[in-house]
């Protein structure tokens, strides 16, 4: 995970933390604690490949906002971790750097797309790491590696400086050895929300989604969760719209993902991992229902077409979060 440049930077940060603590300066529970960062999140001066040959040799020019906040909290960034190429896959084994392996059984996958962050925590390399989570990319590898994964509420943690998969759905996720570790990291990322916890004895209202064939729950997990919520007001909530929600999620994610990569798919498809390229090509066929009005021919426009036009007209397609160094030579 660490590169020579990240090792030097981490050593300097660790020494600075030692000196500050010796001088009575305490920045909080992350002061001097090593943290890994997924290779979709910019760390100034470190490689920012997004797991893709499209960004080979690319380095971040500045810290993502979440990394900046970790540094302010005294955390020591020790390097970047493997991501499924462009964060577009749940297995973590499709990266220009090679697969993320499960430290408990290296022949098995770590999960994705934040597989490297999950593996680093599970292996004891770091107590916590940043990932991203659009549709499970922090929680899936956390589950497969036997650690805790947390997806904060949308917008709670800034995604500025994070390479997008689907901007309407992207989150910065946190992976830690325990849920408490995740909480400490999230509170450092969002100090404005710190301290907003229920007082002891407070009864919280919790909605419990009814199990459906599309969303089964293991009985042991359900029993454990219910016991943990025994003192709270748990209300069964029907989820008849779950299938429609899933379809809407996939339409949004796939259309936005293809919009971000449309030019790369057209110009240099050979630089993609074959599986990721196939996923993007399938995403290009995502269609949306027509707006209310007189019926027209066809099954609706391709969902990515408006996002592509919007990205190009706004100039975002040329920003540092979408463009890559010229790899044609």
pLDDT per residue as tens digits for the range 181-196: 999 999 999 876 555 5
Confirm whether 151 is a catalytic residue. Answer: no
Average pLDDT for residues 139-160, to the nearest whole number?
A: 96
Confirm whether 38 is a catalytic residue. Answer: yes
Q: Which of 95, 114, 117, 137 is flagged as catalytic? A: 137
Q: Which two tokens stand for residue 43?
A: 């760390």
Q: Show Cβ contacts of residue 136 under 8 Å, excluding neighbours closer than 6 positions.
A: 90
Which contiguous run of DSSP H or E holds residue 233? strand 233-237
Instruction: Please determine, for residue 268, whether its predicted confidence score (pLDDT) is greater than 80.
Output: yes
Q: Which of 6, 52, 95, 113 is flagged as catalytic? A: 113
pLDDT (0 to 100) of residue 318: 41
Confirm whether 137 is a catalytic residue. Answer: yes
Task: pLDDT band for 238, please (50, 70, 90 cuts).
Answer: confident
For the entire predicted model, the pTM comes to: 0.82
pLDDT (0 to 100) of residue 203: 85
Please name the residue ranges forming H helices in 123-241: 139-145, 179-189, 219-228
Instruction: Please determine, for residue 144, whether its predicted confidence score (pLDDT) is greater than 70.
Output: yes
What residues are paired with 237 via a beta bridge? 209
Which contiguous run of DSSP H or E holds residue 183? helix 179-189
pLDDT (0 to 100) of residue 237: 82
pLDDT (0 to 100) of residue 259: 96
Q: Which of 6, 38, 114, 188 is flagged as catalytic? A: 38
Phi-psi region of 296 (alpha: psi -120 to 50; beta: other; left: phi over 0): beta
Gyration radius from the chain CA atoms = 21
pLDDT (0 to 100) of residue 76: 97
Average pLDDT for residues 191-215, to the nearest whole number?
A: 73
Task: pLDDT band for 175, please (50, 70, 90 cuts).
Answer: very high
């Amino acid at each position: 995970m660490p590169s020579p440049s990240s090792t030097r930077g981490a050593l300097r940060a660790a020494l600075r933390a030692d000196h500050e603590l010796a001088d009575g300066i305490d920045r909080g529970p992350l002061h001097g604690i090593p943290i890994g960062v997924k290779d979709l999140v910019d760390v100034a001066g470190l490689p920012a490949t997004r797991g893709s040959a499209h960004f080979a040799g690319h380095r971040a020019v500045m810290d993502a906002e979440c990394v900046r906040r970790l540094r302010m909290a005294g955390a020591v960034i020790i390097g970047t971790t493997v991501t499924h190429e462009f964060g577009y896959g749940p297995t973590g084994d499709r990266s220009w750097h090679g697969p993320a392996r499960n430290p408990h059984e290296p022949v098995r996958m770590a999960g994705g797309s934040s597989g490297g962050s999950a593996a680093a925590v599970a292996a004891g390399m770091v107590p916590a790491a940043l990932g991203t989570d659009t549709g499970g990319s922090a929680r899936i590898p956390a589950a497969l590696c036997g650690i805790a994964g947390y997806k904060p509420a949308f917008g709670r943690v800034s995604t500025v400086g994070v390479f997008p998969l689907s901007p309407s759905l992207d989150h910065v996720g946190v992976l830690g050895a325990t849920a408490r570790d995740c909480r400490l990291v999230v509170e450092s990322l969002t100090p404005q929300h710190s301290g907003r916890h229920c007082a002891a004895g407070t009864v919280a209202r919790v909605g419990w989604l009814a199990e459906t064939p599309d969303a089964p729950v293991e009985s042991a997990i359900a029993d454990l969760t219910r016991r943990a919520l025994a003192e709270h007001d748990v209300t069964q909530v029907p989820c008849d719209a779950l299938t429609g929600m899933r379809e809407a999620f996939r339409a949004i994610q796939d259309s936005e993902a293809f919009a971000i990569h449309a030019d790369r798919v057209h110009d240099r498809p050979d630089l993609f991992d074959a599986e990721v390229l196939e996923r993007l090509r399938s995403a290009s066929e995502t269609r949306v229902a027509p707006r209310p009005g007189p019926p027209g021919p066809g099954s609706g426009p391709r969902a990515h077409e408006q996002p592509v036009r919007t990205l190009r007209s706004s100039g975002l397609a040329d920003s540092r979060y979408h463009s890559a160094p010229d790899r044609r030579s």
